[in-house]
Homo-oligomer: A and B are copies of this chain.
């Protein structure tokens, strides 16, 4: 089977997805990293910013600026952990949850459009393999 490198193919797809996400995120006033962080938070509050950095893939020093903005616009809350006041527990506010839900919906619609014309069987196989390979960090 002659085909381009996986790296080339996947990088092209990432570029295309980013290109299509850009207008959605801009409309919501979010940067790419903001969205990634909100998504990470939607899977549960972060006990520490260190944890959030690890969960989102964002460098811990760079994360601070994003949280400053997200906190200032009321999308997330930073609360000192009563049990260990060095830690700050980061959580989504109701507003943050609402903004994220809307973004997610728009992005899902964009993805459906991107996947238009792909048979359901191929879509399922594609996503299945994607999930498998992304976790294959061994």
Residues on A lying within 8 angstroms of B by beta carbon are 1, 3-14, 16-19, 21, 36, 39, 104, 107-108, 111, 114-115, 117-118, 121-137
Q: List 5 A-B contacts (CB under 8 A).
A: A1-B127, A5-B39, A5-B107, A9-B130, A16-B136
Give the residues in chain B near A111, CB-CB below 8 Å: 5-6
Please report the C-alpha to C-alpha distance between residue A130 and residue B10 in the assembled complex, in whole angstroms. Answer: 7
Please report the C-alpha to C-alpha distance between residue A7 and residue B21 in the assembled complex, in whole angstroms. Answer: 9
Give the residues in chain B near A130, CB-CB below 8 Å: 6, 9-10, 13, 126
Other-chain contact of A131, B4, B134, B136 (Cβ < 8 Å)? B4
Determine whether the beta carbon of B118 is less than 8 Å from that of A9: no
- Return the chain B residue nearest A128 by Cβ: B122
Determine whether the beta carbon of B9 is less than 8 Å from that of A11: no
Q: How far is the CB of A98 from chain B (nearest CB, A)?
A: 18
Determine whether the beta carbon of B13 is less than 8 Å from that of A134: yes
Q: How far is the CB of A99 from chain B (nearest CB, A)?
A: 15
Please report the C-alpha to C-alpha distance between residue A52 and residue B128 in the assembled complex, in whole angstroms. Answer: 35
